[in-house]
Each structure stands twice: as structure tokens, then as C-alpha cells.
Amino acid sequence: MQIAPRELEAFGALQKKLGQGVMDAVVAAVKTPWKELYLDVRSHPGQTAHKTKLRVIPVSGTLISVTPPAEVTITIIEILQMRSSFAEEPWSGMKVTMNYEGQCKVEFNYDPNCVDDPAFFKD
């Protein structure tokens, strides 16, 4: 069995911390039953300045926006600082989707133009 590099282990720990922080924020803020949430982060490579949206999809009703707490924002910045450790072309977007049971999926967007999407905050 091959041992993961320290950077990969650190990135995994940050992803876990991010997931827990997002779940905690949603559980504290949303009092209606929900089925899924997503955190969408966009940033130009080499920068930690970012756009973030956290949305909750309720069982019934309208999409709910939640403001990420400071701890989540700090974790996002730490993740953004690590981007160049894993690829020559760092990603510009990261979307974390979680369901109510805590199952999680992470998708990366390598299109640098995704940061400037004018429709980013429309949903």
C-alpha cells in the first residue's frame, strides 16, 4: 500500500473540516427539512480571494441561502492556498454537494472563466 504524500493528507483533512463546518452551519441555520446542500467556491488560480455561495435544497419550498461562518471561510482559504500542490493547471472552481445523511461529492472546475460567471449568484 502506497502512503499518500503529506500534502494530499492535509488536503483531505481540510476537505473533511470543510464538510463538517458546512454541515454544522446548515443544521444551525435551517430549521425546515432539507434534502441536499451545495457549497460553490470560485477563485482565480494563485489567489485566495474568492466567491462563495452556500445553498440548501429543502424537501419542499424555495432554495435557501446560508452565509458560511468564518471557520468555513478560513478553511476555504487554506484549501485555495493548496491548489497548486496537485496540478500544473489548478482548478478555479470547487463544488461540494452533500445530502442530509452526510454523503458528499466534490467536483472541480478547471475553466478560469467560471470565476467571472455573471450568473453565479442568481440561484
Q: Return the domain boundaries, the chain.
A: 6-116
Tell me: domain 6-116, CATH 2.20.28, correct? no
Residue type, 39: L
- Taking only the tens place, the pLDDT of each residue in 25-45 is 999 999 999 999 999 999 998
- Taking only the tens place, the pLDDT of each residue in 59-114 is 988 899 999 999 999 999 999 998 877 667 789 999 999 998 989 999 999 999 99
pTM of the predicted protein model = 0.89
- DSSP per-residue string spanning 15-72: HHHHHHHHHHHHHHH--S-EEEEEEEEE--TT----EEEEEEEESSSS-EE-PPPHHH
Give Cα separations from 58 to 8, 39, 53, 102, 111 (angstroms): 33, 15, 16, 15, 30
